[in-house]
Structures are given as structure tokens and as C-alpha cells.
Amino acid sequence: MYKANNNELEVLNFWKKDKTFEKSVNERSEEKPYVFYDGPPFATGLPHYGHIVASTMKDTVPRYWTMKGYRVERRWGWDCHGLPIENIIEKELNLPGKKELEAYGIDAFNEACRSTVLKYANEWSIIINRIGRWVDMENDYKTMDVEFMESVWWVFKELWDKGYVYEGKKPMHICPRCATPLSNFEVTQGYKDIKDLSVTAKFTLLEPQQVGPLHDIDMDGPVHLLAWTTTPWTLPGNILVAVEKNLEYSLVKLEGEYYIVAKDLLMKIFEGKPFEVMAQMKGSDLVGAHYEPVFPYFLKMEGAENGFRVVHADFVTTDEGTGLVHLAPAFGTDDYEVFRKENVPFIQHVTMDGRFTPEVTDFAGMEVKQREDHMATDVEMVKYLASHGKLFSKQKYEHSYPHCWRCDTPLLNYATSSWFVEVTKIKEQLLKNNQNINWIPEHIKDGRFGKWLEGAKDWAISRNRYWGTPLPVWRCDAEECGEIAVMGSVAELEKHTSEKVDDLHKHIVDKLTFSCEKCGQNMKRIEEVFDCWFESGAMPYGQMHYPFENKQKFEHGFPAQFIAEGQDQTRGWFYTLHILATALTYGEKPSIPVDMTGAFRNVIVNGLVLAEDGKKMSKRLQNYPDPMDVVDKYGADAIRFYLITSPVMHAESLNFSEEGVREMYNKVCNTLWNVLEFYKMFAGDMESPPLQTPSPNVLDKWILARLQELIRDVSTNMEAYALAEASRPIIDFVADLSQWYVRRSRDRFKGSDEEDAAFALSTLHNVLETTAKVLAPFTPFLAEKLYGELQNWHLHGDNYVSVHLQAWPEGNGEMQDEQVLKDMNVARKIVELGLSARKEAGIKVRQPLQYIRYQTEKISESLEQIIAEELNVKEVMHTEAVREQDDRVVKEDQNIRVGLNVIVTDELKKEGVVRELIRATNQERKKQGLTIEDKIALFYDTDSEDMRTLLTEYAAEIQSATLALELEAGSGGEPLEIDEMKIALKLEVKN
């Protein structure tokens, strides 16, 4: 049994003592870098299966390229800024909102974030180390380091200088609790189905007779426009109602009041009610009509006389609602666009933290979308409308609604001022650069990622938060001046302020002001900090403090050869890396002197690891085993191998199964270990010489050719970053090695043909050693252990050189042999058919049979010999045509047809009995724990004359097969019955 946990801990100790990782980097030339970017995780929680998947990929690929002779530096990074840590500190310090936070003090808050953000770093380092990932965690980079932040400033300034940055007011999704806008890809992370309250409200026309087609109609009651909304809390901010000018609208009379709705929706809205259609009109007839707002709060505001009227908008349809749309410009993208055209006042009746402003007198301060009860405020709105005669109807409404990805609060669509990277300006180049990326799986290139790029909107990079890299923008206090200065480095800021700056956080730099070059007034930093995704997108520059340090090294290794993350990052990190690199290398004067490019050449996108039942892994439900428990049981290698051969490598989901890990442990780790033990049994501490002359034995030729095939398959797929395809062939190879090569060669190792035994031993040594190298990137522990045992590492002390410092095995033309691979397949097929023929005839394999005939191309005699042994037949004969005959069972598959002779003659029967005797004796040997070193004396006791004759006749064969020096009559021993003859066998050790 392979003791995975013990062995892996032993190997970890060895690596630590030997400094194997450090050697594997430092011993490679800087001239031959292989650059890999590690996406920084947040350290605000412990690693889960997703991180183990990522770490497995991020370890396997660099180990491979290291063995290929490249220098693969691997620097760990931490994402330190942003909402994840801010939320934790807010909770810890009991700061429910911004007001409380600012009262507590930004200095103290930020310092609390700084001191807590790496709380779990130590646990991370233990787990990452235990799963065998080689990465430099001591020399890690942190996005909160001043060097990193300075590079972020540099990136921003470059983008600013190139004209890719602007400040603008736009409706965006904000999290009212975090009181900050979120970018569109953050928003996509938090959609959930929720029930909302929708209402149809009455907007009463002031002068209905003014609407052309209504001129002649005698109306004896109020005329209302009906508009439907799923966000009743936006109604106090209403300023316009939109219609589509070409649509047909109807005037309907119901219970003394009049309503205008789209003709197509009429039946739906008034279903079952005693209504009467009074007139028809076009949307264009309604445009310009004024109505009474449903809430009166903004009636007196400046410019109000131009608001509260009907306008045309293209987006109005009759898909749902009433065909009339209430517009609140501050709360919807469509609404905002209309507002910009219509020259109406901008109503902002909700604050950034999601509460009604004081103008909304009846509800001032109330949260519009409460986290615990998101319908509560809408219910209040409905009550108000009802009591003021403005409610037509209300319905529960289920829809998909975005929530904050960090704090789970329902988001609000909210027009606010923010800083943007003008992604739309470089979209063409983003798409072009994407074409040069090797995506695994490939469909992501033009699918998930390509589509996201095509629909790319400008990226909101500023957050109204505290713990982040501040935007390096200083603005003149004098409103009419508006001068802006952008800092691209610490030095620049020091020059402006004449102060020494060694920390760039908000609470430090916000205190630094200087006078405006234009008007002499005070220049103050704007309030916002960067979206933490901007920082992770800037990690290639930040981790090297580019361009302030490592200029040449960075430029030599840009873009990265390889990155890997989960598929949610197609809208996150992959996207931000790609945008920033494209922007920096784009245009006449690129900021980095390289050809236009994205940030990476090869990317593996992994899928999700789900619980075994296909549901999300949930701590609360405990529907999955703790990863470290699984590691303890089966080893990190087994879990790594399980993941890397799984569909997770194709961005598909995996239902994690501990049984699957166990299977990999059995098929790969334990099986190879057994092969090694078998080898050691014969080799002892002998160090086999490398294979000198090629072995003439067909099994040796075959396993060496299989090994060549394995090297080729693994290398080709590793080079294509197809990790599942690279690793899966190992499973079949290990099965072939153990179940065919070793099993078929067993007797050769024990055998009397010393030359052949030496060939077998050195072949197996060679195969195991090379297999260890092939395994090294995938199962680094097992590889080290195998290789070490083959090299007798315990005898060599410090001179032992790790398998991970070896060169990747290159193909060896001499050992490639397509013919032997093909022929062995034929031989194995014949065996398979022969066994199934035996089964059909009901004859055990131990019973020798006379012959098998096969019909296909003739194979070599040595292969026929293998078939003979495997099928226990005396002759294997090639024939042009296997015919159906009474004495045989015929089987056929593909182009191979066999006929097995199933006549058991007396002679064959006797031989069968001898086999049984040998088997029983060897089983007893095994039971007594004897090894091949132990010779025995074998005593038998039987009444059967036939048996005695047989024992004399076959004495030599029995003795040789059971390592018996003597075979004599004697008493005692285990009684058994073979072919209706009774016999007892007893053995004595004779050494």
C-alpha cells in the first residue's frame, strides 16, 4: 500500500531541506524566462476547492516548463483592497453605513483593514504548501504595497494621457449599503430571482381635450395615462412618461374614469372589467400632453414646467405593461438617455446610500430597497398611491434582480458621477488581440470572452470607498477653474507638494494639497479610490513595480505565456488584464515598447467544482468533504490528478466525488507503487545501469515504445495547454505497465535466463525512471518518491538530485516502434477473444487447452508465445481462415477472428491438475509469508494412485514452479480435492 500522506510529508521535508524549488528557478538562465501571472486571491477567507483547482493548474504548467529548461519565476500575490476586506472591518467595528464609518475615522478604518487583510495568509501558506504547489510566498506582492500602488498610478496616468479616461455621469448599478457604484461585470455576478411588487399608476392628464382625437369626446371624469413599473420607489422621481409615436393607443372608460393604454394591451389590462372603448389615437397624438405627477414633491422645482409631460421613446413596446413608460432619469439607462435629449430637470430623490432625500417629505430617510425586506418600501408607495387615488392595480412580480456580490444588498440603478476607462474606444483592438490568445477551452475565445468584448461598455473604475489605491487625480477647488492634475508617480506628487510620500493610501494622500498652476487656488484630490479589479488588471506592472524598476526584465517577459483561473474571470480578471494591456500597448506611442498585445498568450479557464449531488458546495449544508481531510486520506497527488484529468479543465462543472479521488489513488499512485516494490524485490539496492543494448524481448520493446508514445502524447498536449488530455494517457499507461508488462514479465524476473532477467530489470528501471519524470508536473510527490527510490536516495544524502531538476524526457527515435504497438494490440485482442471463448465453453484458464487459431495478419512468434501463456494453450497458430467446427469456439472482433480448441484430453486434464497443485502450493507459500528467497520441501499425502503417478511424472515442473527442493510423500497438511482426487499438501521451509 502506498502511504500517500506519510510519503508526501517526507517529500515536503526533502524539498524544504534541499531548497528544490529555489534551485529549480535559480539554476535556469534569466535569458530563457517563462512568464506566468498569478491572479491574486483575496485573503479574507480560506482556500476552497476552486483554489485547489487553480493551484493545481498553476503548479503543473510551470513544473513542465521548468523541466523543459525555462526559468519560471512564481511570485505569490495578495489582493488586499476593496469591498471584501472593507465589509469585514465594517462588521467587526460595527459600522453599518458610511456616516458611522466616517465618524469613526478613515485613518483608523484603513489601518484596521491593513492590519487584518492578511489574517489568513498563514493558513493559506500551509495549505498551498501541502498540496505541493511551488510558489514564492515569502517574496509575495501585495496590492497595498506602495510600489504596487505606484505602478497602478502609472497605468492610470498613461491611460489619461492617451485620452482613454473620462469622468462622466451615468446610470450605473450602485450598492446602497456599500454606497458605491459597481462595474457592469461585478453586477453580473450577483443576479438572483426575487419577488417584487409592481404597480400600474395613474398619471392624470391636465388637459385631455388638447389631445387631438379626444377633442370631440365628451368626458365626464378624469383621464389617466396608465404606466406600469417594477420599481414603485422610483415614482417620486418621475419626470416624464414615454410612448411610442407609431403605436395605437385606446381611450377606455371604466367606472366613471378614463384610461389611456396601448391598444394591444387593452384586453390584458381590463380583463373581466366592464370597460368601454371610447376612442383610438396614435402615440404621436399624446406627445406633449402634460400630466399631474403621482407624487407632488418636485412640482415647484426649477424647470418643472417643462417636465411632467409625454414624450416619444423608441424602446417603448407592447411586450408587457401598458405601452406607456414612467421615466425617472436617475434610475435607468433608457430613462437617462431620454432625459438628456428632453431638457428637463434632473431629479435625484434618493441618496447614494439608498435613502429618500429630505424633499420626499413623507418618506425622507427611508431605505428604498431594504436588504431584509426589499418590498417594504414599495408597499408604502402602494399605500400612498391608493390613498391618493393614483393606484390602478398592483401585482407580485418575479424577476432576476442584481445584488451586491460582496454584501448581498439589492443594487439600485442610479445615475452618478464616476471615472471611466473608455473601453469602447479600443474595442476593435481588444477583439483583434483576443484572436492571438490560445483559450482552453477554445470556444471561450469567440464565445463567452469574445461576446463580452463585443458588448463591452466603458468601464467604471472609481469607487466611493476608502481602502483602495486612490485615483491620482487632483482638482482645483475653484469651480470655474476646473484644472486637473494627474500624478503618475510618487515623485510627481512629492514634487507638487514638496513632501516626502511613502504611503499612497487615501487617508495619507487626501491631506496633500498644492496650489493650482492656473489660478493659484487649492488643488485637492478627488474622493474616489480604484475598483480593486483595476488593480488586479494592473498586476503585471504592479508586481514588478514597472516602469520604476525591472524595466528590461518586464519588457522581455511581456506578455505572459500563461495564466489560469475560473470562468467567472472572463468578465473579471481576464478582462481587466486584457483591457489594460491593450490600452497600454495601443496607439502611436505605446506605453510599453512591445507590439500591440493583450496581457497573456495562453489561458486555461476552469469550471466550477460542485458538491457530489451537483449542488453548490455549501459550508452550511456540509455537502462536501474538507479538502485537507481528502488530502490526508489519499494524498495531494491523488486530488491533483483527479482534478486535472476532469472536465473542470474544459471549463465544465465537476461534481466532486471523494470516490473519484480514491480511484486515482488506486489507479495511479498505488499501482505504480506496487510496480516499484516489485522492481525493488529483484533489484534491491542495486542501481541498474542504463539500458545498453536494445532488449530483443518483445515485451521490453513494447513497453519502451508505449513509453515513447506516452511522452509524445503528454508533451504535445502540455504544449497546447490541454491539461486533461495531457494527463489522462498516464492512467492507461500505468495500467499497461502493471497489468500487462509486469504481469507478463513476472517469470522473466524470476527466471533462469539471466540475460533476459537483466533486460527485464533494466527495462523496468528505465521505464519507471522516465515515468517518474513524466509524472513530475502532475503528481510531484509520487514522482519524487519513485525517482528517489530508484536512485536509492537514502544512500546518497545531499548528492541526490530531485526529479524536478531533471530535463523533460525527449522522444527517443530508436525506441519508437509503431509495429510493435500494433502487433501487441493484436495479441491482446486475441487474448481477449480467447478468454471470452473459454468463458463460453465453461473451461477455467488453469485447464490447459491444445490450441488457438487466429485469422488476421501474422504476428511474431514471441507474441504468439505470450498468447499461449496468457490463454494457457499449447499452440497458437496463424491461419488464413478460422472455420466453425465442433471442437472449437469461434470469436470475432474488428478484423480479428479466433477459434479456440475446447477438447480436454486426458493428457490436458493431468496438466490441469498439476497447475492446481502448483497454484495451491504457491498460495500456501504466500500465506506463510515466504519470498522468492525461501526454498521449501513439499510433502504430499494421497490415496489416489492416479495422483501419485502424476506427481512422479510431473515432479520436475512442480518443484521448479514452487521452489521446492524436495517433493516426497509425507503426512499432515491441508487437505484439498482436485478433479475428484483427494490430496493433502504440507510445506517446510528449507533454507
162 appears as a binding residue in the annotation: no
Distance of closest approach, residue 420 Cβ to Zn ion, in angstroms: 21
Q: How far apart are CA 240 and CA 584, in angstroms?
A: 43
Provide CB contacts within 8 A for 457, sequence distance 6+.
184, 423, 424
Which of 521/738 has CB closer to Zn ion? 521
Per-residue cell: 725: 488530455
Q: How far apart are CA 602 and CA 606, in angstroms?
A: 13
Where is 84: in which H helix or E strand?
A: helix 83-92
Per-residue cell: 884: 466453425
Which of 216/480 has CB closer to Zn ion? 480
Q: How far apart are CA 207 and CA 988, in angstroms?
A: 118
- The identity of residue 159, as a single letter, is L
Distance of closest approach, residue 177 Cβ to Zn ion, in angstroms: 5
Distance of closest approach, residue 232 Cβ to Zn ion, in angstroms: 22
Q: Which residues are catalytic?
A: 40, 79, 533, 569, 573, 616, 619
Which of 519/821 has CB closer to Zn ion? 519
Binding site for Zn ion (CB under 5 A): 175, 177-178, 404, 407, 409, 476, 478, 481, 483, 516, 518-519, 521
Distance of closest approach, residue 172 Cβ to Zn ion, in angstroms: 14
Task: Give the strand pairing for 964-969 and 936-941.
Answer: parallel
Q: How far apart are CA 604 and CA 595, in angstroms?
A: 23
Distance of closest approach, residue 77 Cβ to Zn ion, in angstroms: 24
The dihedral built from the CA positions of residue 566, 570, 571 and 575, taken in this order, carries a sign that is positive
Distance of closest approach, residue 71 Cβ to Zn ion, in angstroms: 42
Q: Is 308 left (phi over 0), alpha (psi -120 to 50) or beta?
A: left
Q: How far apart are CA 493 and CA 501, in angstroms?
A: 8
Helical H runs in 93-145? 98-104, 106-116, 121-130
Residue that the C-alpha cell 521535508 belongs to? 13
Where is 523: in which H helix or E strand?
A: strand 522-525
Provide CB contacts within 8 A for 221, sequence distance 6+.
253, 256, 257, 258
Which of 481/845 has CB closer to Zn ion? 481
Provide CB contacts within 8 A for 361, sequence distance 6+.
297
Instruction: Using alpha carbons, select from 830, 812, 842, 930 the residue that is nearest to residue 879.
Output: 830
Distance of closest approach, residue 252 Cβ to Zn ion, in angstroms: 43
Instruction: Using alpha carbons, select from 770, 836, 835 the residue that is nearest to residue 809.
Output: 770
Distance of closest approach, residue 619 Cβ to Zn ion, in angstroms: 21
Q: How far apart are CA 85 and CA 143, in angstroms?
A: 13
Q: How far apart are CA 330 and CA 416, in angstroms?
A: 8
Which of 519/691 has CB closer to Zn ion? 519
Kindly report the number of other CB atoms within 10 A of residue 894's CB atom.
10
Which of 178/385 has CB closer to Zn ion? 178
Which of 481/920 has CB closer to Zn ion? 481
Which of 518/926 has CB closer to Zn ion? 518
Q: How far apart are CA 830 and CA 849, in angstroms?
A: 15
Binding site members for ATP: 619
